[in-house]
Structures are given as structure tokens and as C-alpha cells.
Amino acid sequence: MREIQTDKIIEVVAKLCKDANYYLPQDVMDAFKDGLNKEESEVGKAIFHQLIENAEIAKQDEVPICQDTGFTVVFLELGQEVRIVGGELYEAIEEGVRQGYTEGYLRKSILKDPIRGENTGDNTPAVIYTDIVSGDKLKIIIAPKGGGSENMSEVWMGTPAAGAEGVKNFVVERVRKSGGNPCPPIVVGVGIGGTFDKCAQLAKRALLRPIGSDNKDPFYADMEKELLERINNLGIGPAGLGGRITALAVHIEVFPRHIATFPVAVNIQCHACRHKETII
């Protein structure tokens, strides 16, 4: 068994929280530049210029790309030959989030109770997903998720008869109804199959894929391409003010389904497509 100290985990999580919020991933920056070349609307081009400049300011001044520094979503891949020492794993994650959001001057957006409110003051608790994998490493992915784009997301319990066409129509309609609200140009995460909750998780996971990467199955890679074209034909454009580029990418992830069910989830990600990871 390889031992990993909780102190190390706290330090890594705190740094990842700050880095994820300050530094826009290179694949997203490249997608902005590509989008700027393809955009036909003058307003849309101006928005792309603003987004590129904004990311440069955030990086240089080490300030968040967006004031909504999100719900801290944490994906853990824990090798089964790892033993956590010095404390509890989840407590260490929460402490890392607490330190990162406080030291990093990141916004605290979490209310203690969904109805009665009251800010927790340190952006905890995080939403944590853990996969137990082979090996003796711990991979930590931090993906701060903003509220504006999360609000435009949806799970649809379709019927098996809906098929591929039903999925595509649901995804395109979800984006059309969202308009400028989720801060386009967006990344669209789609989960198909599994259960009600599983497909939502698949859609969220899909957002972690590098922009421009295709699903490994050519059937779904083609569906991604078709959906991206249909979404960009909606005309919503950067900031929703009209234009060619509404989405930077569509990522589909699938899972086997029950013979009676047909769950489809769309998780919309704003252009601040933030995530950072470290392997300990």
C-alpha cells in the first residue's frame, strides 16, 4: 500500500481551486481564437475579443476569470492500493476547498440550506464523486461549476421509441430555450443511458473532455458533429446577441440502459470551461 498524507491532499486541492479559477485551459483559449475566425457577426467578434482579453487579464492578475467561481465539483480517481493517512479523505478535500477559496479571493456562493439560505462562508461543501481504480495514485480533478449555465441544464426521461432523433431534438431544443442565459459560446455535455442520476453524471463528466476531442465510437462522434452544426445554426451566438458560434463543442457520453427507460441529460457549460487536475 502507498500512503498519501491528507496534508498533501489539502495543499493540492487548495491550489487546484485557485488555478482552475484563474487560468483558462489552453484548449478553451484555442477554441475562442478558432471561433473568432469563424464568427460572422461584428458584435460576436467583439465578444470573442473581450473573452480572450478577459482570460489574459485573469491569468496575469491572478483573479478569477468569472466572478461566479462556482460550486466546487471534485472528481477523485482513487487507486485501490492507496492508503490515506493523517485524517479523512473527504475532510481533507473540504479543507482544501475552504483554504483555496479563502486565500484565493474566490467568491463564496454556497448556501447552507436550499430554502432557508445562509452562506456557508467558505464555499463548502464540495460535490465529490469518487471512482476506485487500479494502481497506487490519487487523481484529483477540480471543476468549478457556475450557476448560470447549470440552471439551463435538464434531465429528460424519454421513451425508447424516441431514438437518436429524439435525443438530438431534445438537446437542440434545450440549447435554443437557453438563449443567452448560460453565457455562450457554450460547451454542451450530453449523457445518454443509465439511470436518472447516472445520465446526469455522464453529462457533467463529458464537460471534462478536451474541446475538439471526439467520442471514440464513430456513431456518437458523428452525432456530436451533427448536433454542433444544428446548435450553431440556431443563431444565438456569443453572449446570445446573435452570431454563428453558439457552442464550441458537443460531448456525448453513454452508458447501457434499462429496456424500459431512455434517460438523456444535457449539462450546459458556459465559456469559462474550467477544470484542473493533479495526480498524487
Binding footprint of other proteins on the chain (CB under 8 A) = 40-43, 47, 50-51, 53-55, 57-58, 61, 63-69, 105-109, 117, 119, 121, 147-148, 151, 179-181, 183, 233-237, 239-244, 270-272
Number of helices (H) and strands (E), helices first, in the chain?
8, 12
Shortest Å distance, C-beta 181 to other proteins? 4
Shortest Å distance, C-beta 189 to other proteins? 17
Shortest Å distance, C-beta 51 to other proteins? 6
Shortest Å distance, C-beta 35 to other proteins? 13
Of 124, 19, 133, nearest to 76 by C-alpha is 133
Shortest Å distance, C-beta 136 to other proteins? 37
d(CA 188, CA 166) in angstroms, rounded, equals 17
Nearer to other proteins, 8 or 244 (CB): 244
Nearer to other proteins, 119 or 159 (CB): 119
Buried b (16+ CB within 10 A) or exposed e, 210-226: ebeeebeeeebeebbee
**How many other C-beta atoms are found inside a 10 Å radius of the C-beta of residue 140?**
21
Of 52, 46, 48, 126, nearest to 89 by C-alpha is 126
User: Which amino acid is located at 264 in the chain?
Assistant: V
Is 14 strand, coil or helix? helix
d(CA 207, CA 214) in angstroms, rounded, equals 12
Nearer to other proteins, 57 or 279 (CB): 57
